[in-house]
C-alpha cells in the first residue's frame, strides 16, 4: 500500500494498492472513533464489492448499514440525494457516525454531499472503484449533485477523512469506463507534468496502475493544498470542463464525464491555438492521447447548443467565465472571457 497525504483545511491520507477492500475496517477504525457507518453505493458496485466491505467493517467492530441507488449520472440528482438523507435519518445516524462512499464519482460526489449536509456535516471516507474516481473525484472534497439547469450546481466543499483506493476493483471496469479515468489522467499531465504525459504515451497503464493513480493524486493534492476552495490555482483542474460539461448536458448525460472531458480538452486546445493563447502542437498532443486511450475527439453538437449549455456552467462569474488553456504541454493558465469571448471561443473550438 502506498499513501499520499492531502494537506487541505484538514489533512487526510489517500491509500492506494491492491486488496484494500478487505482491510477497510481496520483502516477506517484508525480514522474514526465511531463504530456505526452507512455504506452508500450503486446498483453495479454493490453486488460486486459491498459484501467484502461489510465483512471487513464487521470484523473491525463496525455495524454497517447499506444504501444502494441505481447506477448512472442521470441519478446524480436531488431526488436520490434526498433519499440518501432520509435513509440516514430513518436509521438514526448521528453526527458521530460516518459514511462510506463505495463506487465511482457519482457515488462519491453524492454520498459526499449527503455527508456534508446531514446534520450539518458528518465524517465520510471515499472508497473509489473507478479509475476516474481514484485519480480525481475522490480527492479534494468537491461534492455535488446535478440540477436540471446543469452539472454539479448544488454542492459543497467537504473533505473526506480518508481515501481508500483498491486498484484491484478496476479489473471489473468496462473498457469505456476505464477510458473515462484516462481522460482526467491526461488532463493532469497536460496541465502539470509533461514527463507524466510522456509516460502515459508509452507505458502500459494497466500494468502500472498504482503508480499512475499515485501520480494523479500527488498532482491533485498539491493543487488542493494550495487552493482548496478554487479561488485561483484549482481552476486549472477544470481544463476541458467548460465545453465538456456543456457536452454532457447537451447529451442528457448520455456522454460520460470522462469522454466529455476528452472531447472538451481537444476543443479547448483547438480554440486556444486558433485564438493565439496556445502554441501549435497542443491540439496534436491531446488528439494523440485521446486516440491512445480510446477517447473521442469529435463534438456531436454545434456552437449554439454548446454556447447555450456552457453559459449555465457554475464556473461563470457574473458576466464572465474562466477557461483553461495550455501555455505549453505541462503548463496551463486561465483566461477570463466575457460572454462574447465565450461565444468566439466556442466557435473557434469546432
Contact footprint for ligand NAD (CB under 6 A):
42, 44-45, 48, 71-73, 76, 103-107, 109, 129-130, 132-133, 136-137, 140, 142, 152, 169, 172-173, 177, 180, 257-258
Binding mask 177-196 for ligand GLY (x = CB under 6 A): --------------------
Q: Is the dihedral of CA 302, 303, 308, 313 positive or negative?
A: positive
Residue of closest CB approach to ligand GLY: 237
194 catalytic per annotation: no
Burial class (CB in 10 A: 0-12, 13-18, 19+), 219: buried
HSE, CB side, 13 Å, CA atoms: give it for residue 64: 26
| Binding residue for ligand GLY, selected from 23, 35, 194, 234, defined by CB under 6 A | 234
The nearest distance, CB 234 to ligand GLY, in angstroms, is 5
Name which of ligand NAD, ligand GLY, none residue 8 binds, using a CB cut-off of 5 to 8 Å depending on partner kind.
none
Residue 252 and residue 77: Cα distance in Å, rounded?
13
Residue 17 to residue 2: CA distance in whole angstroms: 6
Check if 188 is active-site: no
Helix ranges (H only) for 193-237 are 194-202, 209-226
Find the shortest distance in angstroms from Cβ 291 to ligand GLY.
23
Residue 174 neighbours by CB distance under 10 Å: 9
- 142 touches ligand GLY by CB under 6 A: yes
Helix/strand/coil percentages in the chain, nearest 5: 50, 20, 25
- Pick from 122, 237, 263, 266 the residue near ligand GLY by CB under 6 A: 237
Task: Classify each residue of 306-320 as buried b or exposed e, where b means 16 or more C-beta atoms within 10 Å of its C-beta.
Answer: bbebbbbbbbbeeee
Among residues 257, 259, 270, 290, the one annotated as catalytic is 257
- Give the residue numbers annotated as catalytic, written as ranges: 120, 142, 184, 220, 230, 234, 238, 241, 245, 257
Residues in contact with ligand GLY by the rule CB under 6 A = 136, 140, 142, 234, 237
Amino acid at each position: 500500500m502506498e499513501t499520499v497525504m492531502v494537506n487541505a483545511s484538514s489533512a487526510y491520507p489517500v491509500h492506494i494498492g491492491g486488496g484494500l477492500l478487505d482491510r477497510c475496517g481496520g483502516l477506517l477504525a484508525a480514522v474514526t472513533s465511531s463504530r456505526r457507518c452507512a455504506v452508500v453505493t450503486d446498483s453495479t458496485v454493490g453486488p460486486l464489492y459491498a459484501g467484502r466491505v461489510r465483512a471487513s467493517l464487521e470484523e473491525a467492530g463496525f455495524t454497517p448499514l447499506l444504501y444502494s441507488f441505481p447506477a448512472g449520472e442521470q441519478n446524480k440528482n436531488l431526488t436520490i440525494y434526498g433519499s440518501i438523507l432520509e435513509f440516514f435519518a430513518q436509521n438514526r445516524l448521528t453526527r458521530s457516525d460516518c459514511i462510506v462512499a463505495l463506487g465511482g464519482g457519482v457515488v462519491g460526489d453524492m454520498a459526499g454531499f449527503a455527508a456534508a449536509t446531514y446534520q450539518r456535516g458528518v465524517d465520510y471516507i471515499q472508497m473509489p472503484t473507478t479509475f476516474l474516481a481514484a485519480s480525481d473525484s475522490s480527492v479534494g472534497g468537491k461534492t455535488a449533485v446535478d440540477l436540471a439547469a446543469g452539472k454539479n450546481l448544488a454542492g459543497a466543499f467537504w473533505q473526506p477523512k480518508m481515501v481508500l483506493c483498491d486498484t484491484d476493483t478496476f479489473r471489473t471496469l468496462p473498457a469505456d469506463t476505464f477510458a473515462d479515468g484516462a481522460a482526467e489522467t491526461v488532463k493532469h499531465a497536460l496541465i502539470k507534468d509533461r514527463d507524466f504525459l510522456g509516460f502515459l504515451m508509452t507505458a502500459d497503464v494497466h500494468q502500472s496502475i498504482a503508480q499512475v493513480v499515485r501520480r494523479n493524486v500527488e498532482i491533485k493534492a498539491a493543487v488542493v493544498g494550495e487552493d482548496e476552495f478554487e479561488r485561483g490555482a484549482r481552476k486549472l483542474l477544470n481544463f476541458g470542463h467548460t465545453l465538456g460539461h456543456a457536452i454532457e448536458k447537451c447529451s442528457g448525460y448520455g456522454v460520460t464525464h470522462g469522454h466529455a472531458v476528452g472531447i472538451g480538452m481537444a476543443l479547448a486546445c483547438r480554440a486556444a491555438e486558433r485564438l493565439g493563447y496556445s502554441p501549435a502542437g497542443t491540439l496534436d498532443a491531446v488528439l494523440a492521447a485521446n486516440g491512445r486511450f480510446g477517447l473521442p475527439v469529435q463534438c456531436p453538437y454545434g456552437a449554439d447548443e454548446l454556447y447555450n449549455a456552457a453559459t449555465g456552467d457554475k464556473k461563470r462569474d457574473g458576466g464572465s467565465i474562466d477557461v483553461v488553456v495550455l501555455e505549453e504541454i505541462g503548463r496551463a493558465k486561465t483566461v477570463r472571457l466575457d460572454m462574447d469571448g465565450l461565444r468566439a471561443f466556442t466557435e473557434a473550438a469546432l
